[in-house]
Amino acid sequence: MSKGEHLQTVLKNFVDSQQEIEIAFLYSNQGLLISKYIKDEELSSNTDDSESVYGALTALVDSLLNKISLEYKIGNYGTGSFETADHRIVYVETGSEAILLLVCSYKINLNKLFPIAYLVAEKITQLLEDSFDFRYNTLDIPNLNIDYSFNIGLENFEIKPPKTVIDGVYADHHIKRTENIKKMFKLIVLGDAAVGKTTLVNRFLRKEQIKDYRPTLGINIATQNYRIQGYKDDTIQFLIFDLAGQEFFKRVRHEYYRGANCAFIIYDATRKDTFKEATNFWFYDARKELGNIPIVLVANKIDLVEQREVSTGEGVAAASKLGCSFIETSALENVNVQDTFKIVGIGLFFQSLEDHEENDEI
């Protein structure tokens, strides 16, 4: 596939994965359209009505792009949103070459959208810069069911009062770049023995996959640095505690829970007993010790389709009942591993930005 085809695929995957996104535009920093994807087939058809709707939205986006370009230096747009009577329009800087604009339903939850939008911006930037590594990354967008409790604190970046940009359009949020911020987040990985915890962590660390099972004896601790797209001067360091699931280790595990910012609770989708333990024991154990930190319920080994004992629906329902996020992964096939850790890191990063300057008005 060509670079243009890869970019089109990312936009399609992103829009199709998010119910409330209607159109995605990718523009160069010179205002030239690089790629676009429209979800609604009627909107993208050639009927007179659809042409008028699409034409009006395109003209609106062009006007907003010109406004953003005037207000911010090329390559330093930051991220933000505009509000109209019927839509929210989100813009995300994608490197120094381009900007992503999303036309969304007015009822979209921006706290859930922004972490995924930053992840997509990272993929686009790497494609544009020819640095996308297909060994560890994919053009897919993970279907991470983010719980409403995982709030990135977008209210801290509201423009008050909203400023009129053009007639009927108001600047709603603006997230500016920060400078030289270093954040460390402790992630604990919990679950029964042999559910694939260590293989998941190794995949995130870009180590070779482990095909044979070697039980973690007690605890493995690893670190990994990550930089969010648009925040290249800031560093996130993940401190990952991979805790053994064997019964004999449960007596001392709480010593290693302390200070965790997020917990991943893993179960093997081919073993229902591990799902029951994840939802009936591990979740409540983490919640009791750590309070209301973000928790992600992770179904692993989804590549073993014929051996599966726990459906996607069961996992989604359990996570919804527990009030945590949910994702399905395959550590062996590297499905959703990198992106899940990154989305969580992006969310934690913005949650941690308590001291911020007042937002510039657009």
Q: Which 3-state string (H, E, C) describes 271-313?
A: CHHHHHHHHHHHHHHHHHHHCCCCEEEEEECCCCHHHCCCCHH
Q: Which CATH number is 3-175's, of 1.10.3720.10, 3.30.450.30, 1.20.1050.10, 3.40.140.10?
A: 3.30.450.30
Distance between CA atoms of 245 and 232, rounded to whole angstroms?
A: 36
DSSP 87-123: EEEEEEEETTTEEEEEEEETT--HHHHHHHHHHHHHH
- Quote the pLDDT of residue 2: 93
Domain 182-351 has CATH 3.90.550.10: no
- Quote the pLDDT of residue 243: 82
Distance between CA atoms of 52 and 313, rounded to whole angstroms?
A: 39
For residue 231, give the H/E element and its range: none
Residue spans of the domains in the chain: they are: 3-175, 182-351
pLDDT tens digit at each of 362 positions of the chain:
899 999 999 999 999 999 999 999 999 988 899 999 998 755 555 555 555 678 888 888 988 888 777 666 555 677 899 999 999 999 998 988 899 999 999 999 998 899 999 999 999 999 999 999 888 889 999 888 888 767 788 888 888 888 888 888 999 998 876 667 889 999 999 999 889 998 899 888 876 544 444 445 567 888 888 888 777 778 899 999 888 765 656 666 788 899 999 999 999 999 999 999 999 999 999 999 999 999 999 999 999 999 999 999 999 999 999 999 999 999 888 899 999 999 999 999 988 875 444 444 44
Distance between CA atoms of 361 and 12, rounded to whole angstroms?
A: 32
CB 90 within 8 A of CB 174: no
Is the entire prediction scored with pTM above 0.75?
yes
Rounded to 5 degrees, φ, ψ at 92 are -135, 125
Distance between CA atoms of 278 and 272, rounded to whole angstroms?
A: 10
Q: Which class for 338: exposed (0-12), middle (13-18), buried (19 or more C-beta within 10 A)?
A: buried
263: nearest Cα among 324, 317, 308: 324
Query: CA triplet 338, 5, 12: central angle to 5 degrees?
Result: 65
